[in-house]
Amino acid sequence: MQNRKLKIGIVVGEVSGDTLGAKLIRRFREQGIDAEFEGIGGPQMIAEGFKSYYAMDILSVMGIVEVLKDIKKLFAVRDGLVNQWTKQPVDIFIGIDAPDFNLRLAKKIKQKSLPIKTVQYVSPSVWAWRQGRVHGIKASIDLVLCLFPFEKTFYDRFNVPAVFVGHPLANQLPLENPILDAKQALGLNPAQKHIALLPGSRRGEIDKLGPLVLDAAKIVHEKYPDYQFLIPAINDARKQQIEQILIGYPDTLKDNIKLMENIDAESKIGRMVMDASDIVALASGTATLEAMLLHRPMVTFYKLNSLTYWIAKLLVKIPYYSLPNIIAGKKVIQELIQNDATPENLAHEIELLMNIENSKIQSMQLLTMHKQLLSDQNEDPVQAILSIL
């Protein structure tokens, strides 16, 4: 293709993006493509030789109001990358998820007429809300790599170059995953019942949603003391944050909660905890897809800043918030959003999933959806990216 080494810029903003980025770097290498990678990445990408100019956490900001507080810092990061790539351009810029930041960065690259092709890997939820963004995407992005087939269908309507590359987890996670094996992998008692509590991986999420899941756990524990609660922490900072919140809770509950800190470079502790749990209660986000592909009975929840929520509510164009329900096109899992996200409601939904029939029905639905994602034909992301050069 060319004699010199290919230079690829990648920007990710959270653990799931770091995982995708690391896999993408490995796929380039597996195909014998000589390339170097730089931008903003996490520990998994850095372990693959990625050069990160900023810490990944700098982009881990959720919500409209929350972003406004950090807007100057985010603009400074964006401009820093643009300056770097003005002096020493990369051949391709790949924004992985983090669309609010990455699409603005791609727009700036186009405005400055830099000789850089732009790719957005993981479509923003433009099909769900703020659909007018599709015109901005068309102007600033040379290719969208879609994880789900319904996303490519949406982009085709607007003549935006897009390919369906599939979700790597759908192929990576097996259709059969015995729960006893997962419990043993974490050193848990295989005979005990476990409930996974995932209040999110960001500091702000844990501040807001940590007390919600712990209050719900307190209610459940009083009725079902034999269940053990598992809470994953992606790093020591998140673990200490959860421990701080736990201080105000009864010892009887604390004795029944197992905090599990991440133990590998891929930050898989959340997935391992969900896999080992009989019931999963988790913040709405990318982790709901993992729980879906593990076929574990689940309930999802989320609370935003009130102003952010009401703005988003005016803009959302679909009836569901969680990926399993969006993929299914119907309510498969319960969603407790904003005012519905109370400890009492969450405890009630967890209790409903203790019913073997309820949990079995949901697990079978999730397995069917997993098979559907596997059956769709998809393209290789590396070849799709190289095709625009």
pLDDT of 9-68, one tens digit each? 999 998 889 989 999 999 999 999 999 999 999 999 999 999 999 999 888 765 555 556
Report whether 278 contacts 195 (CB < 8 A): yes
68 residue type, one letter: L
Residues sharing a CB contact under 8 Å with residue 93, sequence separation 6 or more, in sequence order: 8, 9, 10, 11, 39, 85, 105, 106, 109, 116, 117, 118, 119
pLDDT number for residue 256 = 96
Is 326 in the same domain as 286?
Answer: yes
Within 10 A of 308 (CB to CB), how many other CB atoms are there? 18
Which ranges constitute the DSSP H helices of the chain? 15-30, 43-47, 64-69, 71-87, 99-111, 133-140, 149-157, 168-172, 179-185, 203-223, 236-246, 251-254, 269-275, 287-294, 306-315, 323-328, 343-353, 356-375, 381-386
Is 370 in the same domain as 381?
Answer: no
Distance CA 57, CA 238 (A): 12
Mean pLDDT of the chain: 91
Is 226 in the same domain as 351?
Answer: yes
Two tokens at 211? 């007390």
Where is 89: in which H helix or E strand? none
**174 falls within a domain:** no
Is 247 in the same domain as 338?
Answer: yes
Residues sharing a CB contact under 8 Å with residue 65, sequence separation 6 or more, in sequence order: 305, 307, 308
Q: Average pLDDT in the 98-118 region?
A: 95
Instruction: State the first-to-last Cα distance of the chain, in angstroms, to the nearest integer.
Output: 10
Is 329 in the same domain as 283?
Answer: yes
Is 349 in the same domain as 203?
Answer: yes
Is 64 in the same domain as 21?
Answer: yes
Q: How many distinct structural domains can be found in the chain?
A: 2
Is 111 in the same domain as 202?
Answer: no
Each residue's pLDDT tens digit, 118-129: 999 999 988 877
pLDDT number for residue 127 = 82
**255 falls within a domain:** yes
Two tokens at 124? 């923003």
Is 231 in the same domain as 157?
Answer: no
pLDDT number for residue 67 = 57
Q: Which residue has the higher pLDDT, 64 or 207?
A: 207
**Residue 17 belongs to a domain with what CATH number?**
3.40.50.2000
**173 falls within a domain:** no
**330 falls within a domain:** yes
Of the CA atoms within 13 Å of residue 375, those in its CB half-sphere come to 6
Each residue's pLDDT tens digit, 292-327: 999 999 999 999 888 878 877 777 777 888 889 988
Is 105 in the same domain as 198?
Answer: no
Report whether 207 contacts 305 (CB < 8 A): no
pLDDT number for residue 1 = 45
Two tokens at 214? 């712990």
Two tokens at 180? 């006893």
**204 falls within a domain:** yes
pTM reported for the whole predicted model:
0.71
Q: In terms of Cα–Cα distance, which of 109, 98, 107 is closest to 57?
A: 98
Between the CA of residue 53 and those of 40, 46, 84, 265, 359, what are the distances in Å? 6, 11, 10, 20, 45
What is residue 204's three-state secondary structure?
helix
Is 284 in the same domain as 357?
Answer: yes
Is 160 in the same domain as 206?
Answer: no
Domain extent, residue 329, equals 179-374
**1 falls within a domain:** no
Report whether 12 contacts 20 (CB < 8 A): yes
